[in-house]
């Protein structure tokens, strides 16, 4: 089962300006070949399909717990995409009616790279890549063979770090950069974790491959606070009671990668503190959440009071 918490894994800064093309670039990290839909889909179905779960508990727990983190990454990137498409936080922007809709108020959107993201989704995220190509089940590998699956996951995390860096290098807005900086650190943890799992089974010191690609995290400002707080040493269980057995793989005397701040690897029960989900402010002229939403807001306020 899954438990849902109404937060993001980190605090995101509000965007400085509306930038539909920056949102499109960030879509690559959601629905691209190595995007969060792919890591989620792979680990989720591998964990469902895992053979001999009881006997292989540490390995099963590792894939299961990382699955939960990945759905949070899907949520984080989706929020980043929608925030960039939406623009700065403006709490009162959704008040009033939409004005003269015959005035082509969204003329600029016809030139946006993913114009359909506005026309169909009001700038919201969907599981597509930066060119609107649909993410699909062909991106999921679940072979039933633990070594092949873990090796696939190791490759997936290395590939993910590569396109996170490239997307980072294409963005200047703080929202998109924060998403990339955090995910680069977490991707490094996941690649390291799958390497250690493979080492336990095969004896091959796959962690010596890392970092692949050789991305210097110390050169990326957005990574620094996550390294300082030790995020690169932590794996979370994302569960009140389960998945602690992965400490045999992540922990058990294993230490950080040579280029990262030194320390022992540790399992944290539960989840990170996280940050708030920004309100995606409505635009009445785009009929989000509607043309004149006041009555809807009033109804919701009454319902909220009744729930207290």
Residues that bind Mn ion (CB under 5 A): 36, 39, 70, 73, 190
Residue 156, both tokens: 């997936």
Of the pair 36, 149, the CB lying nearest Mn ion is at 36
Q: Check residue 235 and report its DSSP letter.
A: E
* Beta carbon of residue 78, minimum distance to Mn ion (angstroms, whole number): 12
* Beta carbon of residue 258, minimum distance to Mn ion (angstroms, whole number): 21
- Let me know how many helices (H) and strands (E) the chain has, helices first: 8, 2
CA dist., res. 17 & res. 86, Å (int): 8
Of the pair 35, 284, the CB lying nearest Mn ion is at 35
Of the pair 19, 36, the CB lying nearest Mn ion is at 36
* Beta carbon of residue 189, minimum distance to Mn ion (angstroms, whole number): 8
- Of the chain, the end-to-end C-alpha distance in Å amounts to 27
CA dist., res. 263 & res. 111, Å (int): 49
Phi/psi of residue 307, each to 5°?
-80, -15
* Beta carbon of residue 256, minimum distance to Mn ion (angstroms, whole number): 17
CA dist., res. 175 & res. 28, Å (int): 15
Q: State the residue for tokens 């043309």.
A: 291
Q: Where are the alpha helices (DSSP H) in 7-107?
A: 20-31, 36-49, 57-86
Question: 97 near 284, Cβ under 8 Å?
Answer: yes
Of the pair 190, 192, the CB lying nearest Mn ion is at 190
Smallest CA-to-CA distance from 51 within 147, 138, 139 is with 147
* Beta carbon of residue 73, minimum distance to Mn ion (angstroms, whole number): 4
Of the pair 66, 280, the CB lying nearest Mn ion is at 66
Residue 24, both tokens: 């499109």
* Beta carbon of residue 74, minimum distance to Mn ion (angstroms, whole number): 8
Of the pair 83, 189, the CB lying nearest Mn ion is at 189
* Beta carbon of residue 92, minimum distance to Mn ion (angstroms, whole number): 35
Question: 259 near 248, Cβ under 8 Å?
Answer: no
Of the pair 39, 175, the CB lying nearest Mn ion is at 39
């Amino acid at each position: 089962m899954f438990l849902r918490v109404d937060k993001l894994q980190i605090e995101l800064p509000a965007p400085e300006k509306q930038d539909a093309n920056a949102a499109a670039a960030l879509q690559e990290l959601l629905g691209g070949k190595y995007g969060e839909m792919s890591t989620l889909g792979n680990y989720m179905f591998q964990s469902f399909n895992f053979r001999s779960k009881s006997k292989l508990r540490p390995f099963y727990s590792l894939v299961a717990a990382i699955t939960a983190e990945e759905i949070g990454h899907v949520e984080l990137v989706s929020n980043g995409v929608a925030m960039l498409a939406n623009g700065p936080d403006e709490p009162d922007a959704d008040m009033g009616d939409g004005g003269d809709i015959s005035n082509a108020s969204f003329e600029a959107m016809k030139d946006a790279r993913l114009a359909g993201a506005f026309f169909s989704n009001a700038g919201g995220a969907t599981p597509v890549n930066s060119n609107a190509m649909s993410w699909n089940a062909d991106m999921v590998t679940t072979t039933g063979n633990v070594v092949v699956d873990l090796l696939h996951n190791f490759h997936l995390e290395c590939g993910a770090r590569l396109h996170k860096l490239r997307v980072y290098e294409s963005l200047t807005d703080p929202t998109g950069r924060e998403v990339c900086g955090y995910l680069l650190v977490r991707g490094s943890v996941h690649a390291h974790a799958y390497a250690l799992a493979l080492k336990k089974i095969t004896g091959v010191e796959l962690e010596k491959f890392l970092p692949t690609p050789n991305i210097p995290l110390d050169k990326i400002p957005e990574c620094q606070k996550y390294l300082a707080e030790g995020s690169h040493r932590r794996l979370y269980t994302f569960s009140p009671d389960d998945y602690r057995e992965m400490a045999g793989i992540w922990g058990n005397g294993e230490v950080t990668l040579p280029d990262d701040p030194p320390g022992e690897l540790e399992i944290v029960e539960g989840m990170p503190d996280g940050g708030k989900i920004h309100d995606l402010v409505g635009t009445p002229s785009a009929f989000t959440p509607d043309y004149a939403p006041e009555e809807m807001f009033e109804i919701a306020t009454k319902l909220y009071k009744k729930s207290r």
